[in-house]
Amino acid sequence: MMFTKEECEIILQYTKEVEGLPSNPYYKHSDYLAWYIYRNEKSEWIFQRIFDYLKTIVKINNELNMLFLQSVKEGNEFEKHVDKSEYFNVGVCLNDDYGGGELYVDNSNYIIPKKQGEIYFFEGHKPHGINKVTSGQRYALVGFFEKGDLSFNKFL
């Protein structure tokens, strides 16, 4: 586990501080919301924990300065899409007390397990999305590394 349940709760406090201030005006009238989490004195520990984990599998050439706190409300989904081809997505599951809302990558057959505090990492050019949330509300931290930000020994 990368983050404890208590640490996930602390991160979720950001939603109370910034409720109603989505990162993108497009989302203002949606039940999918994402807020900016900027790297600062208050949030540095979050970024360092993610970097420490990633350094066990890749070399980080350029660290992130911003994450998104993502929320999907009951009855909603985030449709299958691809991000810029040079992006690598990193995320942290902040809660697991909701129904549905599984993150899938490439096709619906590869589901990323929802376990509070766990990190996931995948290539953004692969089709991915979030299944419909059937109960509760799904929260995750999400960040995007560009191609030159990371160095890999090899791809499988």
Model confidence over 98-123: pLDDT tens digits? 999 999 998 666 788 889 999 998 88
Give the CATH number for residue 30: 2.60.120.620
Model confidence over 8-63: pLDDT tens digits? 999 988 766 655 555 554 554 456 677 888 898 989 999 999 999 999 888 898 89
Q: Which residue has the higher pLDDT, 68 or 29?
A: 68
For 73-109, the DSSP string reads ETT--EEEE---TT-EEEEEE----SEE--EEESSTT
Is there a contact between 129 and 79 (Cβ–Cβ < 8 Å)? yes
- CB neighbour list of residue 9: distance below 8 Å, 6 or more residues apart: none
The residue range of the domain holding 26 is 5-134
Residue 155 placed within a domain: no
Residue 59 placed within a domain: yes
Predicted TM-score (pTM) above 0.95? no
Residue 95 placed within a domain: yes
**Cα separation, 111 vs 129, whole angstroms:** 10
- CB neighbour list of residue 39: distance below 8 Å, 6 or more residues apart: 47, 64, 65, 66, 67
Residue 139 placed within a domain: no
The domain total for the chain is 1
Residue 142 placed within a domain: no
Residue with tokens 């949330």: 133
Residue 114 placed within a domain: yes
Q: Which residue has the higher pLDDT, 148 or 19?
A: 148
